[in-house]
Amino acid sequence: MDVLKKCNLCQRNCLINRYKNVGYCKQTNEIRIAKAALTYFEEPCISNEKGSGTIFFSGCNLGCIFCQNIKISKKNFGKNISSERLSEIMLELENEGAININLVTPTPHIIGIRDAIIKAKEKGLKIPIIYNTGTYENIESLKLLDGLIDVYLPDLKYYDDKYAIKYSNAPNYFETATKAIQEMYRQVGPIEFDKNGNIKKGIIVRHLLLPSLKDDSKKIIKYLYDNYKDNIYLSIMNQYTVIKPLKYKELNHKIKNKDYDEIIDYACNLGIKNAYCQLDNTSSKDFIPNFDLEGV
């Protein structure tokens, strides 16, 4: 059965016919993207000096009230394209020197992405494919990508469900996301790098610190280390940026340096060796992409 006729790609399980209607993510049966370009501000093993071939998809199945990419996640800016065109874009980015293809917010478009990757590989695409997600997928959806994705780049945003519901309208987030990460690990296994330090395969789990959620962050970091040790990398991020005043006052300020240092110390004391940390001054609107249909 065509999944998009009764869509259950993510935990929302809208079960709508996307050929006729749209669900929570606001996406039809067509692929929709807002930008395709080389980016240089990812983790070093993803961007390095040559850049990551980043494709930004429209729509999102989460409801994060602090989202930095509202133009594409909520307002649905973008252009509909075919899977054939998406495969061409992947090859164009490779020809521009990209060291990987980085699929950002891909969940609503898994079906089209799958077709595009197969076509691109048939045409000679050689660089790794990165699946960069908020991690609210159903496991059966991820299984559709088995053998096609080299690197998974999932978020693990919340441990406590009350925060997931309050800030991202995402019930059962931790259970859903951790099961998804287990499936990702089953597919790609321990992390591997090439001779230049670029990631070849594996998982990097991103965790964005939110103001006032230090204890929740510690629980996430401990869970990941307890379950995966140093077979995966963590990316512990302090770049939370206030785009506009929010109704929850505790979110209306950036992360304090002392709080971030406390989290990094906690990770080190657990014994974590494989983790990326960020320097100061990463909380800035300057790092938000300009969605302008470049490369589409």
Residue 1 lies in a domain: no
Over residues 58-81, mean pLDDT: 95
Residue 59 lies in a domain: yes
> How does residue 241 score in pLDDT terms, banded at 50, 70 and 90?
confident
> How does residue 288 score in pLDDT terms, banded at 50, 70 and 90?
confident
- Number of separate domains in the chain: 1
* Segment among 65-79, 209-223, 274-288 with least mean pLDDT: 274-288
Residue 265 lies in a domain: yes
Residue 266 lies in a domain: yes
Nearest to 8 by CA among 190, 144, 212: 144
- Count the neighbouring beta carbons within 10 Å of the beta carbon of residue 81: 18
* Mean pLDDT taken over the chain: 95
Residue 89 has pLDDT above 70, yes or no: yes
Residue 292 lies in a domain: no
* Segment among 147-151, 173-177, 209-213 with least mean pLDDT: 209-213
Residue type, 98: A
d(CA 46, CA 103): 12
Range of the domain at 133: 31-287
List beta partners, residue 54.
Answer: 37, 102
Over residues 155-165, mean pLDDT: 98
* Segment among 100-104, 241-245, 247-251, 268-272 with least mean pLDDT: 241-245
- 282-285 LR contacts (CB < 8 Å, sep 24+): 282/237, 282/238, 282/239, 283/238, 283/239, 283/240, 283/241, 283/254, 283/255, 284/239, 284/241, 285/241, 285/243
Give me the phi and psi of 194, to 5 degrees please: -90, -175
pLDDT of residue 284: 55
pLDDT of residue 182: 98
Name the CA radius of gyration of the chain, rounded.
Answer: 18
Over residues 126-140, mean pLDDT: 98
Cβ density class 90-129: b for 16+ within 10 Å, e for less: bbebbeeebbbbbbbbbbbbbbbbbbbbebbeeeebebbb
d(CA 69, CA 110): 20
The CATH number covering residue 202 comes to 3.20.20.70
Residue 174 lies in a domain: yes
Residue 11 lies in a domain: no
What six digits make up the tokens of 196?
A: 């230049």
Residue 6 lies in a domain: no
